[in-house]
Structure 1
Amino acid sequence: MPVSTCILCNSDDVQLFYTDQSEHYASDYYQCQNCQLIFAAPKDRPSTDEELARYETHENDPNDKGYRNFLGQLFKPLNDLLEPKSKGLDFGCGPGPTLNLMFEEHGHAVNIYDPFYADDESVFNKRYDFITATEVVEHLFYPRKEFKRLWDCLKPGGYLGIMTKLAENDKSFFANWHYRLDETHVTFYTQKTFQWLANNWETSVTFPGDRVIIFQKPE
């Protein structure tokens, strides 16, 4: 069944963007003409077991300098914005929570959440000075719901920091893009998508790196 509604902005102006008919991979991808989000058809999403099997292959070690450097792409610009002893939430911390430790080493307090590895929904009953989502939003089946939940958890003046590869509105790029070929990556954001989110939240957005996005909630 064709997709008729955007999973982020709820627009009905959605068009088939790309179909992969390769031998080992089959998926239809749609693009919203309103917010420019690109997403896999629901029929092509991985099962929970398939997701977990993929995540179990990740080697996220808090003692790995390379991994810390990778997370530093978001940590450094966001940490520079924070007041001392800020309270944060790392959303989608994965099997080896590390970003929370990096912030804690700089005097902040950070809760963690992950639906597979730290499934404590009580964290969403609190309010935070900052929230991080590193290499997470591309996995979301329901980004509209999750972004609202995170935004609602932010205090006025708080920051939402995201790390994800930005998509290009180009079919030949998308066809060969390694980021798409991870079967758990089902939702892809262009820069215009995040600009749409900023407009929806009546705020601005900055891009301090080629895969780093930071929003500030209005006071």
Structure 2
Amino acid sequence: MTAAQSPCPLCAGPSRPYHRNARRDYLQCENCDLVFVPPHQHLSAAAERAFYDTHENAMDDPGYRRFLMRLFEPMAQRLPPGSSGLDFGCGPAPLLAAMFTEAGFAMRIYDPLFAPDAAALEQTYDFITGSEVFEHLAAPGTEIARLLGMLRPGGWLGVMTKRLRNREAFAQWHYIRDPTHVCFFAEATFRFIAARHGLELEFSGPDVALLHKPAA
């Protein structure tokens, strides 16, 4: 299968060429507007882990805490006291989970490389967060459906990822220089996700999307 024939990893819709540089192709779904890198151009698991190991996020880094506040604050404002949550894709420094714990919420963490606790994926939660995670997902449609299946009625899924703007900005975008970033979400993509799964959608700033699962 050529790059141009790759189906969308979010909705399986047809794709068209969007951008190309010296390293990778970028395709855009005709249904949901997701821009993605075709699977044959993804890094190997070993190369991906080696790149993650170059990141310098730390639990005691005040700059990292300020960054995570962009997701923490709007999520915490919407949660009843005593809510339980999962930080999905927490990475090697699960600071976001620690921030929710400090605020009185019960937290679990999961990361396929750094905290591969399969039992955490067998529970249900009042909220789930994914900070700088969704752009790494090779199969976002499958992963989003799994996360929503773990979310209790009335719960929230909070996603922090830089949003796609337009083709001109994309060509110069620092986000595409990270070789582990393979999916790029537009506002229209989040609206598609909300409509497909019957969710309410709110945007908080340029890189946070809040998806609410209606109560039964």
Verify same fold: TM over 0.5. yes
The correspondence for 2:121, drawn from 110, 119, 124, is 124
Contact 2:6 2:38 in 1 (8 A): no
Contact 1:5 1:11 in 2 (8 A): yes
Instruction: Give the corresponding residue for 2:212.
Output: 216
State the secondary structure of the residue aligned to 2:202. Answer: strand
Offset at residue 125 of structure 1 (A)? 1.0
1:135-164 per-residue CA deviation (whole Å, 9 max, x = no partner) reads 000000000110011000000000000000
The correspondence for 1:184, drawn from 177, 180, 183, is 180
**Alpha-carbon distance between aligned partners in 2 of 1:175 and 1:43, rounded to the nearest angstrom:** 21
Instruction: Give the corresponding residue for 2:202.
Output: 206
- In structure 1, give the amino acid aligned to 2:67: F
**Alpha-carbon distance between aligned partners in 1 of 2:82 and 2:185, rounded to the nearest angstrom:** 32
- Percent identical pairs in the alignment equals 45
Alignment of 1:91-170 (within 5 A): 91-170=88-167
Instruction: Give the corresponding residue for 1:16.
Output: 17
Instruction: Give the corresponding residue for 2:47.
Output: 50
Contact 1:59 1:96 in 2 (8 A): no
1:88-115 per-residue CA deviation (whole Å, 9 max, x = no partner) reads 0000000111001100001101100001
Offset at residue 63 of structure 1 (A)? 1.2
Offset at residue 169 of structure 1 (A)? 3.0
1:65-89 per-residue CA deviation (whole Å, 9 max, x = no partner) reads 1111100000001001111111000
**Alpha-carbon distance between aligned partners in 1 of 2:151 and 2:36, rounded to the nearest angstrom:** 26
Q: Report the TM-score, using the length of structure 2 for normalisation.
A: 0.96
Instruction: Give the corresponding residue for 1:6.
Output: 8
- In structure 1, give the amino acid aligned to 2:17: L
Contact 2:200 2:214 in 1 (8 A): no
State the secondary structure of the residue aligned to 2:113. Answer: coil
Contact 1:36 1:190 in 2 (8 A): yes
1:12-55 per-residue CA deviation (whole Å, 9 max, x = no partner) reads 3x10111112xxxx111110011000000111101111111111
Contact 1:37 1:190 in 2 (8 A): yes
State the secondary structure of the residue aligned to 2:24. Answer: strand
Q: 1:208 to 1:181 in 2, by over 3 A?
A: same
Contact 1:46 1:184 in 2 (8 A): yes
Contact 2:68 2:96 in 1 (8 A): yes
RMSD between superposed Cα atoms in Å: 0.9
State the secondary structure of the residue aligned to 2:78. Answer: coil
- In structure 1, give the amino acid aligned to 2:99: M
- In structure 2, give the amino acid aligned to 1:80: Q
Offset at residue 56 of structure 1 (A)? 0.6
Offset at residue 4 of structure 1 (A)? 3.6
Q: Report the TM-score, using the length of structure 1 for normalisation.
A: 0.95
State the secondary structure of the residue aligned to 1:209. Answer: coil
**Alpha-carbon distance between aligned partners in 1 of 2:100 and 2:125, rounded to the nearest angstrom:** 13
- Unaligned residue ranges in structure 1 (runs of 5+): none
State the secondary structure of the residue aligned to 1:80. Answer: helix
In the alignment of these two chains, the number of paired residues is: 213
